[in-house]
Amino acid sequence: MANVKNKLNRINKCFDLPEGLITGEIFIELMANKQAVLEGKCSVLQYSDTQIKINTGNGTIEFFGANMCLDTLNKEGAMISGTIQKIEFS
C-alpha cells in the first residue's frame, strides 16, 4: 500500500497538482468568507441555513454561518455559499 501511495505522490508532483488530490483527499478553496468550493468525493450529513456538515470519507468538515446554502453537489465536489463564520474539521 505504501508503494502505491508513493507512486501517486510522484504523479502529483510531476503534474504539479495540489497535494492529496489524486489520493482522494478533499481540496478546499475559500473566497473570503462568502464561498467554499470543495473538490473531491463528498456527501452531505447535515444541512440547515446555519450549518452544513460534509463527509469526506477521511472525516468531516462543518461550515457554520448565516444564510448557508449548498449551491452545488455532484460527483466532483460541492459549492457552499453564505456568510461563513467558522469551519471545523474532525
- Residue located via cell numbers 497535494: 19
Distance CA(50)–CA(74), nearest Å, equals 21
pLDDT higher than threshold 60 for residue 84: yes
pLDDT of amino acid 10: 73
Q: Which stretch of 23-27, 31-35, 76-80, 82-86 has the lowest confidence by average pLDDT?
A: 23-27
Tell me the CA distances in angstroms from 25 to 9, 19, 33, 62, 66, one per residue in order. 12, 9, 22, 16, 27
> Could you read off the pLDDT of 25-47 as tens digits, one per residue?
788 999 999 999 999 889 999 99
pLDDT higher than threshold 80 for residue 18: no
- What structural domains does the chain harbor? 26-89 (2.60.40.2000)
pLDDT of amino acid 57: 86
pLDDT higher than threshold 70 for residue 66: yes
pLDDT higher than threshold 60 for residue 1: no
What's the whole-number mean pLDDT along residues 63-87? 96
The single-letter code of the amino acid at 75 is: K
